[in-house]
Amino acid sequence: MLKDIIELDKKYYMNIFGDRLPVCFARGNGMKLIADDGREYYDFLGGIAVNALGHSHPAFIRALKTQLDKLIHTSSLYYIENQAKLAQKLVENSCADRVMFCNSGAEANEGAMKLAKIYFYKKGSERYEIITLNSSFHGRTLATVAATGQPKYQAPYKPLLPGVKQVVPNDINALKAAVTDKTAAVMIETIQGESGVHPMSESYLRELRSFCTENGILLIFDEVQTGMGRTGHMFSSQYFGVYPDIFTCAKALGGGIPIGAVCAVDEVAAAFEPGDHGTTFGGNPFATAAGLAVFDILEKEGLVENARKMGEFFMEKLRAVQEKFPDKVKEVRGAGLLIGIELAPEIAKAVSQKMFEDGLLVSLCGGITIRIAPPLIINKNDINMFAAELATALKSV
């Protein structure tokens, strides 16, 4: 079965992922994914921070089935009840006043960049430059590739969108030096995920917020990976106590159904007027039903608080492993249930592979850091098991 799927993939699918891990999942339940051969795997990656509710959560599945029986899509030519209600939920649980829906994190980030540019255009100001950070990841569209501070993603697509540049993270002086009278916005991940889970310092974020306010520069937080309870708060801005003018979210917002959102304070959001931006699928009845169900389950089951508690417990267990293997585990970092375990370069790939072979799903970032972003339903037994398996993998290399 798996062999046949691999052959079809190699014959018909564009080779953008190369040789994937040799497994194909047929179903899931809670923290577990079950392969087509019946083998169970524990999902500590959560579809890359997407499956916040775990797999096949019964209340989530009921909500999706109920909506499927009613309506899937109409278009934005008409009012959409679920869309309006999900926008309300996002505003009530964040620093935003207005919301616009789209289909992915990359599209949300591009929408945020457009909003920043048009905000100054309508003020009659020639401010169009956007500053991002080295090692960042904001998406794979042409605009978000320009914003992504990793040359390996940018090189094939030059010339890139003009007016976008990167500076060193956690260095306020580097950022100040890059600002010109054309600077419209600074866009950052408060915790860089794809590069290996690198948090910004709270002092840096506070200085950045003050500097942007003083100089009339918009501050954008890319919360695609850190949003929807991941850090133990609904959004990482609440974790750090620093609030942007615009933020984006996606991934866990739909619990596996594609949806993204651009969220902004009133003054900035008002720059988008009829015809300035649009979307065919964004915020359709089905996708926003998924988002409403995610919010409902997070609230009813206390999963944001669980992410905070389990994140603290996870860090304790991982640091205990680090103490046993100080030469192999270089650093453990993160917030809530977004955690990076940086390993010695010579063993990282082998450890990651061993964990996969033992039935634990993680990702290896930058060749040296194991990234964990499990469902927010995770419990202490799951974490104890992970720590034990990690120790076993470290012993084996």
**pLDDT score, position 163:** 97
For residues 219 and 186, the answer to whether their CB atoms sit within 8 Å is: yes
Residue 390 tokens, joined = 């990690």
Q: 66's torsion region: left (phi>0), alpha (psi -120 to 50) or beta?
A: alpha
Q: Active-site residue numbers?
A: 137, 222, 251
**Residue-range domains of the chain with CATH:** 2-57+302-396 (3.90.1150.10), 71-300 (3.40.640.10)
Reported as a single tens digit per residue, the pLDDT across 91-143 is 999 999 999 999 999 999 999 999 999 999 999 999 999 999 999 999 999 99
pLDDT in tens, 277-287: 999 999 999 99
* pLDDT at residue 271 is higher than 90: yes
pTM, 2 dp: 0.97
Mean pLDDT confidence for 149-166? 96
Helices 285-300 and 58-70: angle between axes, nearest 10 degrees:
150
Q: Annotate 156-175 with three-state secondary structure.
A: HHCCCCCCEEEECCCCHHHH
Closest CA to 306 of 360, 251, 380: 380
pLDDT of residue 88: 98
Quick one: pLDDT at residue 1? Answer: 86
Summarize the confidence of residues 354-379 as an average pLDDT. 97
Bridging pattern class, strands 129-133 and 183-188: parallel
Residue 379 CB coordination number (10 Å): 13
Each residue of 347-359: pLDDT tens digit? 999 999 999 999 9
